[in-house]
Structure 1
Amino acid sequence: MKKRKIGLASLLILVLITCCFMSGEKVTAMTEDIEVIPGEMILSIGDSSSMQSEEGINQNLDSLLQENEFVLKDDLLESTEIKSEDEFHILGQDSLENDVIENMGYTYLVGYPSGEYTFEQARTKLEEQLTDAGYEVKGIEPNYVMTALETADSQEQDYDINPNQKWNYEMIQVPKAWKITTGSSNTRVAILDTGIDNVHPSLSKYVDTGLGKNFASGSSTDTMDRQGHGTHVAGTVASYGNVTGVMRTATLIPIKVLGDNGKGTTYGIQQGILYAAKQNADVINMSLGGGAYSKSFESACNTAVQSGTVIVAATGNEYKSYISYPAAYDSVIAVGAVDNKGQRGSFSNYGKGLDFMAPGVKIYSTYLTSDGSYAYLTGTSMACPHVAGVVGLLKSVDKDITAEQVRALLKETAKPAGNSNEYGAGIVDVDKALQKLTGTEVTVNDDTNVLNAEKWVPAQQYKLGSVVSYDGNVYVCVKAHKSSEGLNPANTPALWYLCEETEEDAA
């Protein structure tokens, strides 16, 4: 397992974070350079032979904390709705609950009097008291501040507007991929961000507020975006109308883990990750970062991935040779940003753990309805949803594809863009990935396939992978079917993939 320890500074709050790498071991960043929530810590405890039920653990823990100036502020299992509300529920009967407990232990947000104790003093005192009381302490960590990853000059609009986002989608071969699939409303993509503008004219049909939740502040049901970042990210994943996402159809789950100021906490994001897994999210997009290494945060990511979710995160915008958390965790796909020439954006963090690159410089997408509906933004935050949308297309074809299979497939089909330290495996190519996944990959030579392809005829049963010629072009069958005059390859992209076209058609 690769070990990385970094800190992250958000350009939104101009906090510089010092970090370093040591081969094979995690290194603690300088805590004075990392913003934390004063008076809060994340506590994880294991099972104890003295406690016979989760209810008993919580009651005794709450009582012990109150006696010693600590406050039990939140129960992770309860707030993410992973714990059953049935009082007769058998612990561990739900597989996700069992995985959370096994990987993370029982995890809580605990308050302490910051005016009286430093974090280190509070941690030492709490650990001693819990150990004396018979609890197994798995970890006590700060509640780090996390932020949205867009650049400060992100809304400049001093160049020609491309409303169809032609350059960025063509770079990763999205238009060709749509001939295989445009997505599915059965594919759920959780946007862990500042929320989503659910009345936006290009998003409202896709945003399922009933599945969403707020873990940042205020009402738990308030997932409306008032900052803009989450709406922009969501539109790149899936949108319609004046713009389009990588997916032309999807279900977007708004999970608000960053407040209206663009800031959140590691605990709130852990809640969001596990809640998304509980809602059977196929993909989680995290265009955010901050803090230092957190064992409980990593365990939350691992647990969600174990449940079948693929997590995609931005590498960070600090112009640094390290990857931000959560992108740096092994189970998370880390995405950096390139410009319209395929060059890494100078701001885009790179180094060990970088997986793929995607367009992230001056990306046109949805924005707050009150602020004009559409805008250009720049950052690894904008690259990340391109890959989340790509994964969504893969999941629309194969619901059961795992995170590691996705990573391997994208790595095999990515377009090399430079050295792996700065570009990872390269720029994602969703068309090649879908061809590989569906078994429709065809090598097209200038003349051979045109000459050898069978002429398409109606009233014939075609198999997946059949290669035909029609009207001078070469097509491959992507779905078994019986042909008819109305289902010729030229007008049924859901059945036929255009793999070679004549010069006249290409023009």
Structure 2
Amino acid sequence: MKKKKRGMAIVASSVLAMSLLGFSTSVHTSASTQTVSKNYLIAYSQSLPKNYLAEIKNAGGEVVRAMPEVGGVEVRSTNPNFLSQLKSSGTIVAANSERAYKLENGNPEGADGQPVDLQKDADGTYWSSQWDIRHLTNEGKSFAIESGGKRNAGGVTHKAVVGVIDSGIDAGHPDLKANFLGGKNFVPKGGYYGDVPEEKGDSSNVTDTNGHGTHVAGSIAGNGKIKGVGPDLGIRAYRIFDASGSAPTSPIVAAILQAANDGVDVINMSIGGFDSLKYYFEGTRYSDIADLLLWKRAVQYAVNKNVTVVASAGNDSLNYADKKSLTDYLNVNYGDENLVFSGVTVDVPGGVPGVITVSSSNKWSTNQLAFYSNYGNSFIDVAAPGGDNGPAYAQTGDLNQRDFTFRALSTWPRYLAPYFTMQKNYGYAYLHGTSMAAPKVAGIAGVIKAAHPEYTPAQVQALIEKTALDYGKVGHDELFGSGEANAYNALTGK
């Protein structure tokens, strides 16, 4: 069960976040009745059986989305006994109520009302303010080795493409438009539950209504006033969040499959949450096994198509290796007398095999992660600069001691209101979170693939880990994994 505030702000720190809504439901009313409709996920043993449509219909369900590549189906039903009637099928491995993520931007109140007045460099860029990109590219020297593509009179020939599964991208942003290669919108008309009228269901509309995806894209392939890790990498947008900031599991899985089928080289998912393998709601036992199975199958499908998959570790300050603490965390923060978590908790997609999971380092320490970052042995593969509020805040916890310039600077949709960290610089924003760390590693994977198109995902990951800066304890550790990923080192083999 993906739990609320996955990546959420801690003490109003405004870390961009994923959080869990409850059961995915919608209510349809008539003059005499009120019908509650729930969404479910079904994982079949292998492929979809020939009779799956009839089987679901007979149990009182309607197929919302079929995912034949992974034997999965999303279903909507008003039948309160849908699951019990459906489970009589011998070809179903798991079925459960579907969960929904919600993307949040933190709380811009109080001390967060002091924005940065960012000044341009002499060349009209913000390069001097990009401490993170400057660091991992060795002051831009890696660009000369591999930028991700070749520029010509007609634009850019992209040697590698990164799929951004997120809230969309501002395709016309001057720092992104040369590298934008289209994408797909998975949000249906009316949003996922019919309560977002501004959603028109246009599959080609990947307009970023939140800002998160545009910021991520800039860290990967920005090329203008700010630079990404690979300024000539191609980027494709797979929009999974509706205008309310919600997305259930199935469109995320579908987006992974679509990106893999489109032939991207790398997938970035600055998203995540928790699946619980056993919990009780109003005394009835449930699990999220179907969700977890489809996550695993989708990632493996992508890897089998030679796609490197990168995900953020999350911003809950949790030690993922301490399984009991994860379950306790869910109960303390989200459980009550009606909802009790008692089983193993799994982070998705960060805890899924085949994913490069990224923790967040900062500007000022080689021994401490950003205060919000999750960590854990056998969970973190590498770290990357995601930023934080600076050393003064880390030492005091005083909101008034925050310095936004220690966060990560990147692109922001020009048509949205300026993010609170920067009120005078339209189109750019300082954000922090593991959401900002993961795309740095996705960008590194992208330039590696551009330089070595023959590399498999395992080889890409091995090179990133081998050439990472050994921060924290010597060797692999629970905070930084193999170390802080570095583009210049990866391209030079150092």
TM-score normalised per structure 1: 0.68
Matches of 2:312 and 2:62 in 1, distance apart?
34
The residue that corresponds to 1:73 in the other structure is: 64
**8 Å Cα contact 1:235-1:365 kept in structure 2:** yes
The residue that corresponds to 2:339 in the other structure is: none
**8 Å Cα contact 1:415-1:429 kept in structure 2:** yes
The residue that corresponds to 1:182 in the other structure is: 147
The residue that corresponds to 1:266 in the other structure is: 249
Matches of 2:104 and 2:361 in 1, distance apart?
15
**8 Å Cα contact 2:164-2:267 kept in structure 1:** yes
The residue that corresponds to 1:354 in the other structure is: 380
Matches of 1:35 and 1:13 in 2, distance apart?
19
Where 2:144 maps in the other structure, the secondary structure is: coil
Q: Does 1:169 align with 2:169?
A: no
The residue that corresponds to 2:73 in the other structure is: 108
Higher relative contact order (CA 8 A, sep 6+): 2
Change (3 A) 1:47 1:391: closer
Structure 1 stretches of 5 or more lacking a match?
15-32, 49-53, 78-99, 442-507
Residues 193-227 of structure 1: per-residue CA shift (max 9 Å, x gap): 00001111111121122x43434642222111111
Matches of 1:156 and 1:328 in 2, distance apart?
36
Aligned residue pairs total: 370
TM-score normalised per structure 2: 0.70
**8 Å Cα contact 1:190-1:255 kept in structure 2:** yes
**8 Å Cα contact 1:283-1:388 kept in structure 2:** yes
Shift of 1:429: 1.7
Matches of 1:155 and 1:333 in 2, distance apart?
35
User: What CA RMSD, in Å, does the superposition of the two structures yield over aligned residues?
Assistant: 2.6
**8 Å Cα contact 1:11-1:317 kept in structure 2:** yes
Q: Does 1:142 align with 2:187?
A: no
Change (3 A) 1:373 1:309: same
Residues 374-426 of structure 1: per-residue CA shift (max 9 Å, x gap): 11111110111111111111011011212211221111111122141122111
Matches of 2:265 and 2:408 in 1, distance apart?
24
Change (3 A) 1:367 1:267: same
**8 Å Cα contact 1:214-1:255 kept in structure 2:** yes
The residue that corresponds to 1:403 in the other structure is: 457
Change (3 A) 1:348 1:112: same
Matches of 2:107 and 2:432 in 1, distance apart?
8
Matches of 2:356 and 2:117 in 1, distance apart?
31
Shift of 1:64: 2.9
Where 1:417 maps in the other structure, the secondary structure is: coil
Matches of 2:107 and 2:356 in 1, distance apart?
25
Q: Residue 204 of structure 2: which of 203, 221, 232 is its match?
A: 221
Change (3 A) 1:320 1:401: same
Task: Output the amino acid matched with 2:77.
Answer: Y
* Identity score, percent: 26
Q: Residue 425 of structure 1: which of 482, 485, 488 is its match?
A: 482
**8 Å Cα contact 2:223-2:231 kept in structure 1:** yes
The residue that corresponds to 1:191 in the other structure is: 164
Shift of 1:67: 2.6
The residue that corresponds to 1:340 in the other structure is: 363
> What does 1:312-351 align with in structure 2 at a 5 Å threshold?
312-322=310-320, 324-342=347-365, 343-351=368-376
Residues 130-166 of structure 1: per-residue CA shift (max 9 Å, x gap): 23xxxx1122133222344865568963476672143
Q: Residue 492 of structure 2: which of 435, 443, 446 is its match?
A: 435
Residues 442-489 of structure 1: per-residue CA shift (max 9 Å, x gap): xxxxxxxxxxxxxxxxxxxxxxxxxxxxxxxxxxxxxxxxxxxxxxxx
Q: Does 1:41 align with 2:40?
A: yes
Where 2:478 maps in the other structure, the secondary structure is: helix
**8 Å Cα contact 2:271-2:435 kept in structure 1:** yes
**8 Å Cα contact 1:238-1:246 kept in structure 2:** yes
Matches of 1:348 and 1:201 in 2, distance apart?
31
Change (3 A) 1:296 1:363: same
Matches of 2:316 and 2:356 in 1, distance apart?
18
> What does 1:53-72 align with in structure 2 at a 5 Å threshold?
57-58=49-50, 60-72=51-63
Shift of 1:11: 5.5
The residue that corresponds to 1:469 in the other structure is: none
**8 Å Cα contact 1:149-1:287 kept in structure 2:** no
Q: Does 1:305 align with 2:269?
A: no
Matches of 1:392 and 1:173 in 2, distance apart?
13
Change (3 A) 1:289 1:149: farther
Shift of 1:249: 0.3
Matches of 2:297 and 2:119 in 1, distance apart?
42
Task: Output the amino acid matched with 1:307.
Answer: K
The residue that corresponds to 1:124 in the other structure is: 84
Where 1:249 maps in the other structure, the secondary structure is: coil
Shift of 1:13: 9.7
**8 Å Cα contact 1:8-1:324 kept in structure 2:** no
Residues 292-318 of structure 1: per-residue CA shift (max 9 Å, x gap): 161111111111011100011110111
Where 1:202 maps in the other structure, the secondary structure is: coil
**8 Å Cα contact 1:344-1:422 kept in structure 2:** yes
Structure 2 stretches of 5 or more lacking a match?
11-19, 26-37, 121-125, 150-157, 192-200, 277-291, 321-345, 388-406, 418-425
Q: Does 1:296 align with 2:350?
A: no
> What does 1:3-14 align with in structure 2 at a 5 Å threshold?
7=3, 9-10=5-6
